[in-house]
Homo-oligomer: A and B are copies of this chain.
Amino acid sequence: MTDASPLSVVRAVADLRAVVGDWKRQGLKVALVPTMGALHEGHLTLVREAGRRADRVVASNFVNPTQFAAHEDLGRYPRRQEEDARLLAGAGCDLMFAPTVEEMYPDSFATSVVVAGPALELEGAFRPAMFGGVALVVSKLFNQVQPDVAVFGEKDYQQLMVIRRFTRDLDLPVDIVGAPTQRDGWGLALSSRNAYLSEAELEIARRLNGVLAEAGVMAASGRPLAEVEKTAQEALLAAGFDRVDYVAVRRADDLAPFEGDVADAPGRILAAAWLGQTRLIDNMAV
C-alpha cells in the first residue's frame, strides 16, 4: 500500500488480531467480507450490507490458491490491491486483511476441510478442488478474524450453501448473511472474471440472465425440469456461448434435485457456461 491509501491494511494474522481484539474489548460488533480482490460494485454492496450489521467491517483480499485447480486461472486472476483499498474505504470498510500465500499456507501445512452434501454436484462436479479450498480458506478467515457476522454474495449461490453447511457443522460462531447479486444495466451478474471478456463476448454474456429468467418462468409454471434445462442449454448455445457446463433447477434450501422433476417448492436455477477461456456462472430464484 502507498501512504495515500486511506484504509488500514494488515498482512499478518497477529496484526489483524491486535486490531480486531481491540474492537472486541470495546464491545464492538465485527463483520467480515471475504474477497479475492479485483473488487467491483458487487463486493462493495456486500461491504455496505456488512456495515449495516456491525460496528466495524473487515474485508479480506486474498486470491486463494487452494480453490483453483492446476489448469484454472489462478495466474491471470486480476490483482489490484491498491485500487481495492480505495474502493473499500469508500464503501465504509475499516480494515483490509491482505495476507501473503506464505502467511496463510506455511510449508508444513497439512490440513483440509472437506464438505459433501451441497458441495458435490454442479460446481463441485466441474471444479472438484474448489469448495474444499473455499471451506479451508473461509474456516481460516473466520478463526483469524473471529467476526460476529460474515457477508457473501448470492452470485455464488452454491458456495453460500456450502459455507452455511460447514459453518453449522463445525459450530463456527459466525452468522452467515447472503446478499443479492448485483447486475449491470443489461442484467449481467457482476464478476471479476467479466474483465476477461472481449466486447463481442460481453454482448453474449449479457444474454445469460435473460435465458435463466425465461427458464425460471417455465419451471415455475410446472413444466418438466429436464425439458426446462434442455431448452435453456440450447438457448445459451444459440446465443453464442461456446459450451454449457450445466443448467439446473434445484431445491433452494439444499440444492437437491426435485424428486418429481417439477419445481413444487422454492427453487433456484443455476448455470455455468463458457465464452472462450472464460467461465461464467449465474443463478436466480424460481
Contact = CB atoms under 8 A, between A and B. Distances in A.
Given A140-B170, A143-B173, A172-B143, A111 B114 contact: yes
A166 to B, nearest CB: 4
Contact of A111 (B17, B109, B170): B170
B115 A171 contact: no
Q: How large is the interface on A (under 10, 10 to 19, 20 to 34, 35 or more residues)?
A: 20 to 34
A113 B113 contact: yes
A257 to B, nearest CB: 16
A61 interface: no
A114 B117 contact: no
A144 B118 CA distance: 23
Contact of A110 (B111, B143, B165, B171): B165
A17 B172 CA distance: 12
Given A140-B170, A171-B143, A173-B146, A118 B110 contact: yes
Contacts of A172: 143
A74 interface: no
Contacts of A17: 173
Interface in A128-166: 135, 139-140, 143-144, 146, 165-166
Best-buried of A110, A140, A165 by chain B (most CB within 10 Å): A110
Interface in A41-73: none
A108 interface: yes
A13 interface: yes
B171 A111 contact: no
18 contacts: A108-B165, A110-B117, A110-B165, A110-B166, A110-B169, A111-B113, A111-B114, A111-B116, A111-B135, A111-B166, A111-B170, A112-B114, A113-B114, A113-B170, A139-B170, A140-B169, A143-B172, A143-B173
Interface of A: 13, 17, 108-119, 135, 139-140, 143-144, 146, 165-166, 169-173, 254
